[in-house]
């Protein structure tokens, strides 16, 4: 396993595995026995970075979420896992009543919500402190001022409820504004940013297929990548790096957002490198992300040990400078 550091303050920074395990479906569509087996294998291989949310996975059974956190809490207790495994969770996207879609019922990011949901997440996870706490999505429902949200997160860090902060799916201007507000007030700022990111690039001139929003909302477009590159001590965590199986499975077609010439050219380059290395498409994608000029931490979920083992093997795959150049230049 390879490792990286998240957090810019040496006093609170954490060393985590270069591959993060997504637990979104654990406890719902991935049963408990399979979830435990995947978690066990991941940790045995040196994995130490697990991701969940307070709303996972409400849409499966029409709940408010929390099933994934609760399963992780049971697993931690059964295995005696302590702080050697960093668990990240999120707040802001939990429905305020049982639902299968958010509609107008998302909890938002008011300070009182942050505090209440941090306590509930800690209870489900069985931890005293949340290692990494993300704002899941911008507060598009309640209009909470960003300054209030920043202050609320800062208080959670100051009193030890939370270790590190993150922002997920925010517009680039919101990242900058939130961090500058934190700096101005002396509060802890977010150093970890979670976005959809993969080798293939989405179009940003059509509504985002995942959120129904214009353009790059939720996607690590050029503005997000350039921001991470410019801001020392920040980390990009990339969710859906394998595009839900679309790189490998014919029954998982790419979304229309990938229907452009660049996709064809990039897939050709990807296949060429896969042949040269003897690796799978998925493994080349993960290796490209982990070892890139702007490294990202791929955050991938798995429903079987075979899928996890394929990804673990990618961590040690070294691409040559020429292979990286050809992958980067395909467009």
Q: How is residue 19 written in tokens?
A: 């591959």
Beta strand 162-168 with 192-196: parallel, antiparallel or unpaired? parallel
CA dihedral 106, 112, 114, 116 (to 10 degrees): -90
Strand-pair partners of 301: 22
Q: How far is CA 30 from the centre of its chain?
A: 18
Following DSSP, what letter does each residue of 69-91 receive, concatenated? HHHHHHHHHHHT--TTSEEEEEE
CA dihedral 60, 61, 62, 66 (to 10 degrees): -80
Q: How far apart are CA 29 and CA 24, in angstroms?
A: 9
Residue 247 known to be catalytic: no
Per-residue CA distances from 190 to 146, 151, 299 (Å): 13, 12, 18
Q: How far is CA 268 from the centre of its chain?
A: 27
307 class by beta-carbon count within 10 Å (0-12 exposed, 13-18 middle, 19+ buried): middle
Measuring CA to CA, which residue among 326, 13, 323 is closest to residue 163?
A: 13
Beta strand 235-239 with 130-135: parallel, antiparallel or unpaired? unpaired
Q: What are phi and psi of 50, to 5 degrees?
A: -125, 140
Q: How is residue 25 written in tokens?
A: 């479906």
Q: Evaluate whether 138 touches 184 at the Cβ level (below 8 Å).
A: no
Q: How far apart are CA 157 and CA 160, in angstroms?
A: 5
Measuring CA to CA, which residue among 225, 296, 317 is closest to residue 6?
A: 296
In the set 56, 134, 239, 247, the catalytic residue is 56
- The catalytic site residues sit at 56
């Amino acid at each position: 396993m390879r490792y990286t550091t998240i957090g810019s303050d040496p006093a609170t920074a954490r060393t985590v595995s270069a591959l993060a395990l997504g637990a979104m479906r654990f406890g719902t569509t991935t049963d408990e026995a399979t979830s435990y087996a995947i978690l066990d294998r991941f940790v045995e291989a040196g994995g130490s970075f697990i991701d969940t949310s307070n709303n996972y996975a409400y849409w499966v059974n029409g709940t408010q979420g929390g099933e994934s956190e609760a399963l992780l809490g049971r697993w931690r207790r059964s295995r005696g896992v302590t702080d050697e495994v960093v668990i990240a969770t999120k707040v802001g996207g939990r429905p305020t009543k049982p639902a299968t879609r958010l509609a107008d019922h998302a909890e938002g990011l008011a300070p009182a919500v942050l505090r209440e949901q941090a306590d509930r997440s800690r209870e489900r996870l069985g931890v005293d402190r949340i290692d990494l706490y993300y704002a899941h999505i911008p507060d598009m429902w309640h209009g909470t001022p960003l300054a209030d949200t920043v202050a609320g997160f800062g208080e959670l860090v100051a009193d030890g409820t939370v270790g590190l902060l993150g922002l997920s799916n925010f517009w680039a201007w919101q990242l900058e504004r939130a961090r500058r507000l934190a700096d101005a007030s002396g509060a802890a700022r977010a150093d970890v940013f979670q976005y959809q990111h993969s080798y293939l690039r989405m179009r940003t001139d059509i509504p985002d297929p995942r959120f129904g929003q214009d353009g790059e909302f939720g996607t690590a477009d050029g503005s997000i990548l350039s921001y991470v590159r410019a801001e020392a001590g920040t980390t990009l965590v990339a969710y859906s790096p394998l595009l839900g199986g679309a790189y490998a499975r014919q029954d998982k077609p790419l979304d229309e957002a990938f229907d452009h010439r660049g996709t064809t050219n990039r897939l050709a380059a990807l296949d060429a490198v896969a042949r040269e290395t003897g690796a799978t498409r998925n493994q080349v994608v993960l290796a490209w992300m982990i070892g890139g000029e702007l490294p990202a931490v791929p955050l991938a979920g798995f429903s079987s040990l075979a899928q996890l083992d394929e990804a673990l093997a990618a961590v040690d795959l070294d691409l040559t400078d020429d292979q990286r150049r050809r992958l980067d230049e395909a467009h």
